[in-house]
Structure 1
């Protein structure tokens, strides 16, 4: 029951508490409960395999709520495209989605890079009030940087 994985999770829980990061605290608490109740072998593979997709779906759902409530409609979209900031936001959205696409492959294919990315995300979330979308976009940025590095060397 008390092994390296549990110790690591408890350290992360402490970091979450010190950093006052509710998301990290909840995530670690759920994982510890699953481990301690013996449900880890049933749920961990599903969470690991589908969790990123669930998270992306949940974030997309939250972003689409203003459309569903009528706060954002075609008029606001038409008004937005008149703003240079909207065009910058549009280009940024396209760029980040394309960069993240490479990150999906990196997360699936390279476990030691995944560990570094996840740890970097945990540090950013716990200590710098970052947002935990980091592993996917971080992997995409890493993938892009690795490709550029290989191209220039």
Structure 2
């Protein structure tokens, strides 16, 4: 048995317990890639996986607009309301945090497992939603950097 697979197996088990199908499928695919002799896919996934995932997510989020379920006047009205302006500010902040998460996860890939396990525990036991490791990684990076400032 390859001990390197233990983190993925733990993530798979926790995601199945937590009924998190997205993480379950992801862990299974990553466990199957070497078994199918497709190790070269890892380089592509490492380089393009996040971009492809973000493109697919963005398509899903913009789908109601493309289908005409959100009228132009509704889009314009939301920017006039305080909640709409707050949503823009928070959207900007979270996009920046997620960007920090990408950098942090590239610099500390070993923490990705901990982020995913934490997300699964939050989903399973605290009725949370899996918002993704990018934002979680960004928040970890902010805390780590903040703590680093206090050490000096």
Pairwise TM-score range, normalised by the shorter structure = 0.7 to 0.9
Other-structure match for 1:70: 68
Q: Counterparts of 1:71-86 in structure 2 under 5 Å? A: 71-86=69-84
Higher helix share: 1
TM superposition score normalised by structure 2: 0.82
Aligned CA distance change for structure 1 residues 123 and 55 (closer, same or farther; 3 Å): farther
**SS state at 2:74 partner:** helix
SS at match of 1:150: helix
Other structure's SS at 1:111 match = coil
**Partner in structure 2 of residue 28 of structure 1:** 27
Count of residues paired in the alignment: 150
Residue in 2 that maps onto 1:149: 147
Quick check: 1:24–1:126 contact (8 Å CA) kept in 2?
Answer: no
C-alpha spacing 1:94/1:8, structure 2 compared with 1 (3 Å): closer
Q: How far apart, in 2, do the equivalents of 1:7 and 1:89 lie?
A: 40
Over the residues paired in the alignment, what is the CA RMSD in angstroms?
A: 2.2
Distance in 2 (alpha carbons) for counterparts of 1:8 and 1:112: 10
Distance between the aligned counterparts of 1:122 and 1:11, measured in 2? 11
Corresponding residue to 1:136 among 134, 138, 149: 134
In the superposition, the TM-score normalised over structure 1's length comes to 0.82
* Structure 2: gaps of 5 or more residues: none
Where do 5+ consecutive residues of structure 1 fail to align? none
Task: Return the match for 1:45 from 43, 46, 57.
Answer: 43
Question: Of the candidates 115, 118, 124, which is equivalent to residue 117 of structure 1?
Answer: 115
